Amino acid sequence: MHIILIGFMGAGKTTVGRTLSKETGISLFDTDLLIETRAGMRVSKIFEISGEEEFRRLETETVRELADTSGDWVLSTGGGLPLKEENRRLLRQAGTVVYLRVRPETVIRRLKGDTSRPLLSGEDVRDRVRALLESRSPVYESTAHLTVDVDEKSPVEICREILCKKRLKIQNI
């Protein structure tokens, strides 16, 4: 079983990934974490020092390696990862791609005061969230095998829905 979570910043990919991993007992990978560990610095620092293009290159490198990783796993991805055609192809080949669809209001509420996301730092965060989400939505939709709306649902409810949609039965959820 390979489950890949995609979606906008603040959709809960990391939290849902952790919950899925805990509930099913399968391994969890997170592209941002893998990149940070390898680079020895936070994503925001990579953006600052090397720029977004270099970060996107590291994302592709990470996805390529994960696509070859055997065993069961769930993967949380960075919100911009599916923007590259090569990444979209690799993700769809590697497993079931699940789009965690979130409304802009939820993102704005959840990420209020967040300083870890370079694309949402500075002024006009609300407008930027709306514009970015609008432009990225078709990309997420067309990449995913399944879509789950996440607003007002708990991580466990979202996991249950993902697994239901995948027609998998698990116990103790």
Closest distance to ligand S3P from the beta carbon of 37 (Å): 14
Does residue 88 touch ligand S3P according to CB under 6 A? no
Q: What is the DSSP string of 34-97?
A: HHHHHHTS-HHHHHHHH-HHHHHHHHHHHHHHHHT--S-EEEE--TTGGGSHHHHHHHHHHSEE
Using rule CB under 6 A, residue 43 touches ligand S3P: yes
Tell which positions 68-87 bind ligand S3P, by CB under 6 A: 78-80
Q: For residue 72, give Cα distances in angstroms to 1, 33, 69, 76, 159.
A: 5, 19, 9, 14, 16
Within residues 127-166, the interface with ligand S3P by CB under 6 A covers: none
Nearest partner of 43 among 73, 12, 81, judged by Cα: 81
- Check residue 118 for interaction with ligand S3P (CB under 6 A): yes
Q: How far is the CB of 167 from ligand S3P (least distance, A)?
A: 27
Nearer to ligand S3P, 58 or 159 (CB): 58
Q: Work out which of 3, 4, 5, 9 binds ligand S3P, going by CB under 6 A.
A: 9
Judging by DSSP bridges, how do beta strands 96-101 and 146-149 pair with one another? Answer: parallel
Binding site for ligand S3P (CB under 6 A): 9, 13-14, 32, 43, 78-80, 117-119
